[in-house]
Chain A
């Protein structure tokens, strides 16, 4: 069976803590996801996502505080706005935007984090390996 590799960019205050809670609650999760901790989703540069795919990831998760709950009061709004643009950009470059999951997971939502991890893994598994940008070989 294809085991996708997935990178998760999460904020320190909500989702990272929610993932800690999922761990403390011993919620079983697929082993496919690697978390990169950042202070806030506002810090996430779309280039991080591009970099992950370039390095060989098959999927990416971006997760932070719920709207209105940002530890930094509005970082996640900036992130949301940026990712809306980024999704369009992905479609343009040919990365299937289904390979990126955006979600809100609060510090109390351990189960939701487990669902995001497992759901994304299943979805990416169904999509198959990320084969690189169309035409990237010619360029290379």
Chain B
């Protein structure tokens, strides 16, 4: 199977483990990703917040190149890139004048844009390939699936399964043996856009999310967005500070979780790069697997 692929800036840097886990995973699944040639940044989140046309034109360049490459779809694992690419596609499809204007700026023809696929939809579509390869079912690991904003909204662009009570992340996690918990803050914003510029607000929002996940009994938070990840992972010590009983809560990319269930090498997937150590979690899972194997034999 082949898909178009747009890694985006974060996956080359702060979200390296997202990239590493995704690439390890697709290799194991025998799925080929064709990277969009010479892609540029999608502009999130400053471009559209300050200049609407710029917020459309930057991702439109990527769409035009992908189209020229003959790609029917593009997997955009980063939720922010996904939102910008899908948003730009939606806008130029709905506004012929804008489409003309953008094509003129780009000096490239714009036809029908490729379908933009987020990481959750990507994994969902691969579940028939993934499930037979699950060798280390996650032993009911309690996970809090965290959607955040960019995967879900705006609904008219993302058409995610449900804007208020989505289920697709839970479906993917449950399919590999984890137990998704019911919790309240799944679709709240973590504030990552202000991570640098208004850190205090971000600490407050992140703390509310982590507290709620813990209250629901989660052993890990699962995300599909590098901004959410860097926020909840890197800033977690500050979020937990002064909170009685706030133990470290690992934050996993959904690709990492699926990879673990498939028995892929944690190091190859970059699990050592996390700020909140994933080691206790890995230990718990390997013990569980050992016990399970013992029972069988």
Direct contact between A and B judged by beta carbons closer than 8 A? no
